[in-house]
Amino acid sequence: MFRAFCKRKTLYILLLWLLILLALTGRMIYLMVNRSRHYEELATDQQERERSIKAERGLIYDRNGVVIADNRTVCTISVVYNQVTDPEKVISELSSLLEMDEEKVREKVEKYSSREIIRTNVDKETGDAIREMELEGVKVDEDYKRVYPYSDLASKVLGFTGGENQGIIGLEVTYDEALSGTEGSILTVTDSRGVEINGAAEHRIEPVPGQNLYTSLDVNIQTYATQLAETIMEEKQAKGVSVLVMSPKTGVIYACVDVPEFDLNDPFTLSEELESQKTEDTTEMDLLNQMWRNTVVSDTYEPGSTFKIITASAALEEGVVKLSDTFFCGGSILVGDRSIRCAKVGGHGSETFVQGIENSCNPVFIQVGLRLGTERFYNYFTQFDLLNKTGVDVPGEASTIMHQLENMKEVELATCAFGQSFQLTRLRLLTTVCELINGGTKITPHFGVALENPQDGSYVELTYDSGASIVSSETSQTMRYLLECVVSEGGGSNGQVAGYAIGGKTATSEKLPRGTGKYISSFIGFAPADDPQVITLVTIDEPVGTYYGGIIAAPVVRELYENILPYLGVPQTAVEEEAP
């Protein structure tokens, strides 16, 4: 009986071992068949060291194919701790060639890590010299650094890149994904200690370069507009000057100047003026953001009399005013309990609507606004898309600041009618004026025109919303005639250009708070008046001395057009446009 028990016990043990053996065998087969790829990858990870290869960032071109954002080959110097055989030599040579503090280099060389970057953006000549020394454990990888051939030209539009070649502001941010490309890598085989195995081949995955961006910017127009802006800024000791040049039919932007600009190749160095403004309450980053800020897109202001273009268009479209209607200006007008003055203290007396816009008479436009009424005025403000952003392809666009409809009384309506008590961006204003003079067609202002694949040359045009109608073609034609009268007979006469019929409107808007004597002087001018091909808005912020837009801003547009209208192939006007 005891012997039988022992036999059964032995049998049970054998069966148990057999089950364990089967389980282990099954597990081994499972790992070898089903999980082989996983463990192969783990082994490869242990045996390989990976270094990234930066992709070349796409170039940015102007409308004529001129490169305005380029790349320069640089090097990234790094060390692999396990592969350094002579640390003292590595420290000595790198600190000398890279002109770095020896202790900083030592800290990185002696740090136990898979890879430690010593310095990026090293000149290729220096990188080649380090490579030729064949220092054990030192890696020299080629990289790319963004360079801007025109330094500060269109700086606030183009933007710049950071240490990892990523876009920071401007077009570099908007089109960052397309421009960046895809990084490659270098894989090297190492032993268990992390030391590269001699004779083992490198596995290289080539990077994919970024797409090239073609823009509507014109280096020649941008350069000349910048020179004019800098000149008037110095003459008038102004806080800033902006010049925006567009096609009113397509929305392409030829130039966007906002001086003072900054050096794109050294974007983190403050200008002397901003450096002097450092205080305990103002950080360097605050001042840098101020230096980089594009006021054309990101700052709102009270437009003043240039907004009368919009009030006039709404009134003509609604049929509440005709060109022959007469008004009286006695130097001021009473609205509710408030007396609102005209720029001409003695008043203009009796005048037609045409003369009212030529004279930029506030009382005339207040009466026109009151004829429209609050609700209809607000409806046109909405119809003309003034409450929405333009959708321009640079970041940081600001929204319009406007009264709520329920808060608009007669006084608010009166002041809005001639361009006060609300704020919008310069780009929003000029875009709407484009639509009002181009036949009434909605456009989207933009810089990006097309993206090109540098590997196969394929070319994709960028598209933007357009085509919707905001006013009738008749109203648009009438506005072109009225604005030509402003330049030929009225306050915009300093914007006249020999051989061309110019349309335009002046403005001199007092900044808030009132009574400080600070103004923004501006002029909108387009050519030819009967078939606009180009339109420009010039604003001069806080000029010293004479500050009327018709006197100091209109001549800037005139001088600009004397040079760029022939350059753009705009035909001269043979016969003046007759009144509709």
Q: What domains lie within the chain, and their CATH numbers?
A: 49-215 (3.90.1310.10), 222-261+295-567 (3.40.710.10)
pLDDT at 199: 47
Q: Is the peptide bond before 87 cis (omega within 30 degrees of 0)?
A: no
Asked if 116 and 78 count as a contact pair (C-beta separation under 8 A), the reply is yes
Task: Report d(CA 438, CA 252) in Å as an integer.
Answer: 14
Specify the pLDDT at position 573: 77
For residues 353-379, give the mean pLDDT.
Answer: 97
Looking at 46-60, 238-252, 424-438, 490-504, which range is the least confident one?
46-60
Burial 277-305 (b: 16+ CB within 10 A, else e): eeeeeeeeeebbeebbebbbbbbbbbbbb
pLDDT per residue as tens digits for the range 116-150:
899 988 999 999 999 999 899 898 988 889 999 99
Distance of CA 304 to the CA centre of its chain: 26
Q: What is the rounded CA–CA span in Å between residue 478 and residue 437?
A: 9
> What percentage of the chain exceeds 70 in pLDDT?
92
Q: What is the pLDDT of residue 297?
A: 98
Find which of 46-60, 183-197, 203-217, 376-390 is predicted with most confidence, using mean pLDDT.
376-390
Tell me the CB-side half-sphere exposure of residue 295, using CA atoms within 13 A. 20
Which tokens sit at 281?
A: 């309450």
pLDDT, residue 577, reads 47
318, with CB counted inside 10 A (0-12, 13-18, 19+), is middle
pLDDT of residue 20: 83
- Give residue 398's Cα distance to chain centre: 12
- Whether the predicted pLDDT of 188 surpasses 60: yes
Which of 155, 305, 421, 509 is catalytic? The answer is 305
Q: What is the pLDDT of residues 458-468, one digit of tens each?
A: 999 999 998 88
Work out the burial of residue 504: count CB atoms within 10 Å of its CB; fewer than 13 is exposed, 13-18 middle, 19 or more buried: buried
CB within 8 Å of 30: residues ≥ 6 apart: none
Contact residues for 524 (Cβ-Cβ < 8 A; gap 6+): 306, 309, 429, 430, 433, 504, 505, 507, 535, 536, 537
In angstroms, the CA 240 to CA 294 distance is 11
pTM over 0.95: no
* Contact (CB, 8 A) for 422 and 401: yes
pLDDT of residue 21: 83
Of residues 301 and 16, more confidently modeled: 301
Average pLDDT, rounded, for the chain: 91
Per-residue pLDDT tens digits for 66-75: 999 999 999 9
Mean pLDDT of 316-332: 96
Q: DSSP characters for 266-310? A: STTSPPHHHHTT--SSS-HHHHHHHHH--HHHH-EE--GGGGHHH
Q: Could you read off the pLDDT of 430-452 as tens digits, one per residue?
A: 999 999 999 999 999 999 999 99
59-88 as b/e: b if 16+ CB within 10 A: bbbbbeeebbbebeebbbbbbbbbbbeeee
The pLDDT score that the predictor gives to residue 50 is 65
305 is catalytic: yes
Quick check: 32 pLDDT over 90?
A: no
Could you tell me if 240 and 541 are in contact, meaning their C-beta atoms sit under 8 angstroms apart? Answer: yes
155-170 average pLDDT score: 94
Tokens read off for 373: 């009424």
Give the per-residue pLDDT at 191. 52
Instruction: Classify strands 212-215 and 60-61 as parallel, antiparallel or unpaired.
Output: parallel
Confidence of residue 28 (pLDDT cuts 50, 70, 90): confident
Q: Is residue 395 predicted with pLDDT exceeding 60?
A: yes
Give the span between the Cα atoms of 432 and 336, in whole angstroms. 30
- 84 touches 44 (CB < 8 A): no
Q: How confident is the model at residue 499 (pLDDT cuts 50, 70, 90)?
A: very high
Backbone angles phi, psi at 70, to 5 degrees: -120, 180
What is the mean pLDDT of the segment spanning 337-350? Answer: 93
Residue 53 has pLDDT above 80, yes or no: no
Burial class for 313, CB neighbours closer than 10 Å (0-12, 13-18, 19+): buried
Residues paired with 459 in a beta bridge: 452
Q: Specify the DSSP element, H or E, that contains 486.
A: helix 473-489
Dmax over CA atoms of the chain, in Å, equals: 136
Asked if 469 and 415 count as a contact pair (C-beta separation under 8 A), the reply is no
Structure tokens at 476: 């648009």
Q: What's the pLDDT score for residue 10?
A: 77
Instruction: Output DSSP code: residue 265.
Output: T
pLDDT at res. 154:
98
